[in-house]
A and B are shown apart, each in its own frame.
Chain A
Amino acid sequence: MKATFIAVVSAVVVSAGAAVAEFPERDLQGIIQWGAGGSTDVVMRAVTPHAEEILGRSVVMTNRTGGAGAIATRFVASQRADGYTLLMGAENPQTYKVMGLGDMDYSDFTPITILARGVPVIVANTDAPFDDFAGMIEYVQANPGQIRVGSTGPGGVPSVVTAMLESAVELPMTAVPYDGDGPAQTALMGGAVQVLPAVMGAAIENIRAGRVKPIVLIDNQRNDLLPDVPAVTETHPELEKFLPWGPFFGIFVAKDTPEEAVAKLREAFGTSAEQEGFRQLMDDRGFVHMNITGEEAEDFLTRFQSVTSWLVYDAGVAKNSPEDFGIARP
């Protein structure tokens, strides 16, 4: 206890030591959109310590959950745009407009870095009566409504992937909603659902252990971690226009943050994200390491929003039309 205390105090004191009057003059605050232990939380807690060293200040991280990240997003937007409050989030705000969760998205923020992107993969329970995508389509079409597919609510990764597939083939499955991809994977292993569009990072260990079987990768190329799993574009090239697509993690500050602060933050987090340890972490978990910023990041965000918004809208799960917000069709 005492040791912890001394260590913490000295960590605070030491990390607080830097030249005055230059950004950052005081500790920063990182607002994480998702709960402790989730993938966003873990990625942010992994990338931040090294950035703290470069900044010379601590970044106090807080989880502000709720409303699919909307609570945290609104909070950061309401703070002074001085670069001291960071939004550590996932892809969700890009669908708020069409899902009716407010009129905010990442265009109200300046990206510091988009760290990594996940690759979706369709996984199935080991007892499912098919082993590949063609077999799955055949079985589902022959038994409409019998196959249960896990979902994480409208706008979540599974619902977008399902919408994407349904734009090419008819797949009459029953969607059973879960609180997140963790509980949905548990349900998949227990047989409560037979199919789940998951993020590769979250499914890879279960695939390796043979607890679930991979069906098809939702990407335009195969992945080194699962070289035997075909990419969906091999059989359905018409999906090419949506891909690559995947949920991402990024760090943002409010739009009007001074250039100096943005530059300093980009340097700190950009360097930290290039570290060998962090890259390794992303690779092992099947995330595509990106670490992009500036215009490149903004283009990525715009494209993501356009693909996703139109997919969920065409699938009939969106509340508003992307047209109302001037989101162009991909």
Chain B
Amino acid sequence: MHTTRSKRPGEDIFGLATLAVSIVLLWQSYEISGFSALSSPGSFPMACSAVMVLGSLLVVRDNVRRNRQATTTGDRMPIITLTGVIFMALILAYALLLEPLGFLLSSFLFLMAGMMLLYRGGVVKTLGIVLLALAIIYVVFRLIFQVILPEGVIPERQIMAALGNLFGGAR
């Protein structure tokens, strides 16, 4: 087993946070139906959260123990790099813009920004890759699998209908 893995920054806090969350969940499960019956909706959640509390306690205990005997400095590399933070911010922005801007526009912006950040190729090359990828994804999901992706500002269904009228003729 990998018991030699050195501790990462923030691991203690994560362990304590897990414990706190599990206690809240135990309390919430009790709130569902109390100890009314073995078959009550809250019985299984209560059992699970109790197990989770116990597990978290053991983890915290292990962390404390390890703190006492810790001598190695180990891997102190921060968990999140600057690139990571920027990329996460991009993801967040993408998620928030998905509905107001629509799938096509927001995905285009996200892919461009993401690839410029991580790939650092030329703008034209990136643009080409992004447009190709978007076209494939749009055809597969929207046209073949009929997933109605958020439309946002681009009136896709009208454009599709207009294209249809153009090629299909009135029927």
Contact = CB atoms under 8 A, between A and B. Distances in A.
Contacts of A16: 160-161, 163-165, 168
* Size category of the binding interface on chain A: 20 to 34
Given A8-B144, A17-B164, A26 B157 contact: yes
A88 to B, nearest CB: 15
A14 B171 contact: yes
B170 to A, nearest CB: 5
Nearest to A176: B39
A180 B45 CA distance: 22
B85 interface: no
Nearest to B156: A26
Given A27-B157, A60-B146, A13 B163 contact: yes
Contacts of A9: 143
Contacts, number: 52
B170 A19 contact: yes
A67 to B, nearest CB: 15
Interface string B141-168: 0011010100000000110110111011
A227 B157 CA distance: 51
Contact of B168 (A4, A14, A29, A62): A14
Interface string A1-34: 0001100110011111111100001110100000
B163 A62 contact: no
Contacts of B144: 4-5, 8
Contacts of A56: 171
B78 interface: no
Contacts of A17: 164-165, 167-171
A29 B160 CA distance: 15
Interface in B122-148: 139, 143-144, 146, 148
Contacts of B148: 29, 60, 62
A92 to B, nearest CB: 19
B108 to A, nearest CB: 22
A319 to B, nearest CB: 14
A14 B164 contact: yes
A14 B161 CA distance: 10
Query: Max chain A CB contacts within 10 Å: which of B160, B164, B167, B170?
Result: B164
A14 to B, nearest CB: 5
Interface string A259-294: 000000000000000000000000000000000000
A4 B170 CA distance: 24
A26 B165 CA distance: 11
A267 B151 CA distance: 29
A286 to B, nearest CB: 31
Contacts of B164: 12-17
Contacts of A12: 143, 160, 164
A20 B168 CA distance: 13
Contacts of A29: 148
Contacts of A62: 148
B170 A8 contact: no
B163 A25 contact: no
Contacts of B170: 17-19
Contacts of A4: 144
11 contacts: A5-B144, A9-B143, A12-B143, A16-B164, A17-B164, A17-B169, A18-B165, A19-B170, A29-B148, A56-B171, A60-B146
Given A18-B170, A27-B157, A57-B161, 10 more contacts: A15-B164, A16-B160, A16-B164, A16-B165, A17-B165, A18-B171, A26-B158, A26-B160, A27-B160, A60-B146
Q: Which A-B residue pairs are the 7 nearest by beta carbons? A: A16-B164, A17-B168, A26-B157, A17-B171, A26-B161, A60-B146, A13-B164
